[in-house]
Amino acid sequence: MTIKDEFETAVANSKTLPVKPGNDVLLKLYALYKQATVGDINTAAPANAFDFVAKAKHGAWEEVKGTSKEAAMQQYIDLIAKLQG
């Protein structure tokens, strides 16, 4: 099984976690997913200062900038495995 296959399995498993993770973990999953599928962040920060969700997502993705797609996939896989117990 390739890392891409494992990643796709982890993405599917993320939808059936026994307990919904907290916002900080959800942001980490979002950032790792975007880094694994898109690469380094390629959008400007949200212009609306009151769009807190978009700002949080942008900041989380910015934090993993420079991580290779494969490394982001592995971190995502590891985090989902940990959340599954």
Instruction: Flag whether the pTM goes above 0.85.
Output: yes
What is d(CA 79, CA 47) in angstroms, rounded to the nearest whole number? 31
CATH number at residue 23: 1.20.80.10
pLDDT for residue 81: 97
- Reported as a pLDDT band with limits 50, 70 and 90, residue 85 is confident
What range does the domain containing 67 cover? Answer: 3-84
Q: Which amino acid is at 25?
A: V
pLDDT for residue 41: 95
Task: Write the pLDDT tens digit of every residue in 21-76.
Answer: 999 999 999 999 999 999 999 999 999 989 999 999 999 999 999 999 999 999 99
**H or E element in which residue 30 lies:** helix 23-37
Mean pLDDT, to the nearest integer, of 14-19? Answer: 94
Q: Using an 8 Å Cβ cutoff, are 84 and 18 in contact? A: yes
Torsion of CA 14, 16, 22, 25, to 10 degrees: -10
Total of domains in the chain: 1
pLDDT for residue 50: 95
Name the residue among 1, 3, 2 with its Cα closest to residue 70.
3
